[in-house]
């Protein structure tokens, strides 16, 4: 049924590139004649996809950044539309990246090309109006959080929980703490060892890194042996984290640094997927986020949730403290850090909550295999 068929796939961020690559590997293992092309990143290319444009090289985030890069975005979108019109793939598979991909889904729908969406837009958090688009143009929605199936069912959108890809991609076993830290030049006698995660984009680092640097120096006044580990994302160098002196005990490591994060005593994590990663690794955390004032104003108008971090949404309670905007200041961050360090019950409450999240997300089949299976079913029903 799926012999000699073609899938067009689009992923626009580093995480989407990673998750989609694993699905492509499974698809091609099941059907070597299947042709996959579109826009993505280096991992999708390595998995066997014909990546015609790398959308991950300069991931775009935020309203003003979108405006600034609009001509480039428009050019890429037009390319995708042309491929849909001229090559007429049997199926369009979209991975996250909703601002771009939902518009593309509407184009495919008008052309009669079925659409499968992997990693649903977070319409349950904000911009719920997008649900109407999903209901109209998406043939199959593959979700990665268990609660999403009930949410989309209420809104008349058929969805399938395929598991969370992080459960497959991360090593969740125990860590050899001494060896892991010593490889970074950190002695086990240091305490606490804090994993510092200001984000992967330049704008995020510019807003959050100065806070972390000030908080680290403040914490050192109480905890003189503290050390701070900074996982760098692809393309980032130590020079992108300014202001460090010889007296600042910062240690840089290439991200995502899962083993290192497991070896840390706690983490300061920029709100996003990193909070779920850190929870699955079993490291207590404090969630931090700062955005431009105008964006913060708009977010307050649009976001309908009490908590904003994935870890708290999945726990259905405030498991990890969230310091947002003016609350994200050095004094408050250090105070929350000392709560975790000094009060075992606070730490244990987080760890128990993290373990429940792991159990809730787990399914018997890998997310990539489940997602690929659902895609092949849909492909078999296509024209």
List the chain pLDDT tens, one digit each, 383 residues: 556 899 999 998 888 999 999 999 999 999 999 999 999 999 999 999 999 999 887 555 544 455 566 677 889 999 999 999 999 999 999 999 998 999 999 999 999 999 999 999 988 877 788 999 999 999 999 999 999 999 999 999 989 999 999 999 898 889 999 999 999 999 889 999 999 999 877 878 889 999 999 999 999 999 999 999 999 987 788 889 999 999 999 999 998 899 999 999 999 999 889 999 999 999 999 999 887 555 544 455 455 557 778 999 999 899 999 999 889 999 999 999 999 999 999 999 999 999 999 999 999 999 999 999 999 999 987 65
3 state DSSP class of 195: strand
Residues 249 and 375 in one domain: no
How many structural domains does the chain have?
Answer: 2
> What stretches of 196-329 show up as alpha helix (H) in DSSP?
202-222, 258-263, 273-281, 293-302, 310-315
Residues 15 and 152 in one domain: yes
CB atoms within 10 A of CB 213: 21
Residues 216 and 235 in one domain: yes
Closest CA to 257 of 184, 203, 366: 184
Domain containing 143: what range? Answer: 6-163+363-381
Residues 310 and 217 in one domain: yes
Residues 263 and 246 in one domain: yes
* Rounded distance between C-alpha atoms, residue 129 and residue 149, angstroms: 17
Q: What's the whole-model pTM score?
A: 0.87
């Amino acid at each position: 049924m799926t012999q000699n068929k073609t899938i067009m796939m689009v992923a626009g961020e580093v995480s989407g590139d990673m998750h989609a690559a694993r699905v492509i590997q499974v698809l091609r293992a099941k059907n070597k004649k299947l042709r996959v092309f579109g826009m993505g990143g280096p991992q999708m290319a390595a998995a066997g996809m014909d990546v015609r444009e790398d959308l991950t090289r300069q991931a775009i985030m935020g309203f003003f950044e979108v405006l600034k890069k609009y001509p480039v975005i428009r050019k890429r979108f037009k390319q995708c539309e042309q491929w849909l019109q001229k090559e007429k793939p049997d199926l369009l598979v979209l991975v996250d990246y909703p601002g771009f991909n939902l518009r593309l889904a509407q184009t495919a729908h008008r052309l009669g090309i079925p659409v499968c969406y992997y990693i649903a837009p977070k319409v349950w958090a904000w911009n719920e109006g997008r649900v109407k688009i999903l209901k109209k143009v998406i043939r199959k929605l593959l979700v990665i959080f268990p609660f999403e199936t009930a949410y989309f069912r209420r809104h008349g959108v058929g969805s399938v929980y395929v598991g969370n890809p992080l459960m497959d991609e991360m090593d969740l076993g125990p860590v050899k703490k001494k060896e892991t830290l010593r490889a970074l030049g950190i002695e086990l006698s240091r305490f606490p060892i804090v994993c510092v995660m200001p984000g992967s984009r330049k704008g995020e680092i510019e807003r959050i890194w100065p806070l972390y640097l000030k908080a680290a120096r403040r914490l050192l006044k109480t905890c003189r042996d503290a050390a701070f580990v900074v996982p760098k994302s692809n393309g980032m160098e130590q020079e992108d984290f300014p202001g460090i002196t010889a007296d600042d005990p910062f240690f840089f490591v290439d991200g995502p640094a899962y083993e290192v994060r497991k070896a840390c005593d706690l983490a300061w994590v920029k709100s996003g997927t990193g909070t779920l990663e850190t929870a699955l690794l079993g490291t207590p955390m404090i969630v931090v986020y700062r955005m431009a004032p105008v964006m913060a104003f708009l977010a307050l108008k649009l976001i309908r949730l009490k908590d904003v971090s994935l870890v708290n949404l999945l726990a259905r309670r405030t498991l990890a403290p969230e310091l947002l905007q003016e609350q994200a200041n050095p004094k408050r961050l250090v105070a929350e850090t000392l709560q975790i360090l000094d009060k075992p019950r606070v730490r244990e409450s987080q760890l128990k909550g993290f373990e429940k999240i792991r159990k809730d997300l787990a399914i018997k089949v890998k997310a990539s295999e489940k997602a690929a299976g659902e895609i092949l079913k849909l492909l078999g029903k296509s024209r």
